[in-house]
Copies of this chain bind each other. A is one copy, B any other.
Amino acid sequence: MPDLSLNQRIARAFGTPAVVVDLDVVERNIARVQALCDARGVANRPHIKTHKSPLFARMQVNAGAKGLTCQKLGEAEVMAAAGFDDLFVTYNLLGPDKIGRLGALRRSIDISVAADNPVVVAGLPEAAQIAGRPLDVLVECDTGRKRAGVETPGEAIALARAIAASPGLRFAGLMVYPPEDGAALTNRFIDEVKQGLAVHGLSVERVSNGGTPNLLTLGAIPAATEHRAGTSIFNDRMMMAAGWASLADCALSVVTTVVSRAGPERGILDAGSKIFTSDTGWGLTGHGYILEHPEAELARFAEEHGFLDLSRCNNRPGVGAVVRVIPNHVCVVVNVVGEIILVRGDEIIGPHHIEARGLSR
C-alpha cells in the first residue's frame, strides 16, 4: 500500500496503539555508543533493561559489546538462555529463590553481581557453592546519586575485604552510576578505595560506570574499564532533554489514533498510562512529543486516554488522525507493551515479542 503513510499502514495491520521501533535508527544508536567506547578504550556492556530482548542484545554484541548488563535475575535468565555468556547483574540479590537461581546460572556462564551491603555478601557464597565455581562480586558505590551503593570509601573497602574473605567469592571491582556532574567526586572516591585496598593486597580490576547521559563525558572517569548504557539504544524525550539525543536518534515511537476531539482545544489519543506509564523527569513538560503536531501537548493521562492540549496548534488533528509519539521514558514503555512492531524507515518488518518483559524478579 505505497499510497498510505507508515502510520496508516501500521494502524491497518496491527491496530493502535502500536509501539514501533526503527531498526535503522537502532543500528545507528548502537554504532554510536560502540564507537565512543572504542575511542576511549572502555568495554561496552550495554544495559538490556531498555530493550529486554535477545534480538537487540545480539545486535549490540555483534557491534562489539563485551557483555551485557541486566538489572534483574529474570532478565539474566532470558539472556543466558539465548546464549549470552558474559552478564553483569547490577543489583543486590538475596533470599533463597534468588541465590538458587544465581547459582544455577553461574554453573554455565560468566555472571558477576553487584552488592552494597554485608547481608547481601553473606548470602552469595551459597550461589558459588551451588555453581561449583567462584563468583565475581563488585562493590556498588554511591558517588552522589543517593540511589543504591555504599556512601563512603571506607565502607567500600570494608565490603571489598568481606567479599575477598568469603568462600567462593572474588572481589572483582567497583560499580558506579554517578550523577552527570559527579566525575570529580567519583574519581576521588575510586582513588581512595584503590589505595585503601592496595594496603590489603587487593586490586580493583573492573570499574563499571553507567548511564546514557554519562556517555557525553565518557573518559571523565579514567579508572572506568567498562560502561553500561541502556536507554541509548532507543532514546526518548528524557535523553533529548539530557542533551544526548536528537529527534532523529529516537528509535521508538507509539503510533496512536485521535479518537475524540472532546472540545475545540482538546483531543484524546487511544494511548494512556497503560502504554506510556506516568514517568517523567529532566524537567519535561507533558508526556510525549507528537511528531506530526509538535505544538500539541500530551498534557495528562487516564489509563487508556492521552489528553491533548491543542490550544497552541494551528493545524489540529481531527478524529481518526493517526500520529506518532516519542515517549518520555522508553524503558518503562517496552516493559509494559511486550510487543513492538519493527520497521526500517517506511518499511514494516513485523511484530517482535519482548521476551524479558515484566521480569522484575
Contacts and interface: CB of A to CB of B under 8 A. Distances in A.
Interface string A301-324: 011110100000000001110100
B71 A303 contact: yes
A200 interface: no
A117 B319 contact: yes
Interface residues of A, number: 66
A14 interface: yes
24 contacts: A11-B95, A11-B97, A12-B97, A15-B361, A17-B360, A49-B304, A71-B304, A72-B304, A92-B260, A92-B319, A94-B259, A94-B319, A119-B319, A119-B320, A120-B260, A146-B262, A146-B266, A147-B262, A271-B360, A273-B332, A274-B358, A278-B280, A337-B358, A337-B360
Contacts of A268: 92, 147-148
Given A95-B11, A119-B319, A266-B146, A332 B277 contact: yes
Interface of A: 11-18, 49, 71-73, 91-92, 94-98, 101, 116-117, 119-120, 142, 146-149, 151, 257, 259-263, 266, 268, 270-271, 273-275, 277-280, 302-305, 307, 318-320, 322, 331-332, 335-339, 358, 360-361
A119 B262 CA distance: 12
A169 B266 CA distance: 27
A198 to B, nearest CB: 26
Nearest to A303: B331
A148 B361 contact: no
Contacts of A148: 259-260, 262, 268, 305
A259 B303 contact: no
B318 A257 contact: no
Contacts of A275: 360
Contact of A360 (B92, B101, B304): B304
B274 A14 contact: no
A254 to B, nearest CB: 10
Given A336-B336, A358-B338, A360-B271, A262 B149 contact: yes
A279 B72 CA distance: 22
Nearest to A73: B15
A271 B148 CA distance: 13
A185 to B, nearest CB: 16
A262 B142 contact: yes
Contacts of A49: 303-304
Contacts of A15: 73, 95, 97-98, 101, 361
B336 A358 contact: yes
A349 to B, nearest CB: 19
Contacts of A95: 11-12, 15-16, 257, 320, 322
A151 B339 CA distance: 36
B16 A361 contact: yes
Contacts of A271: 360
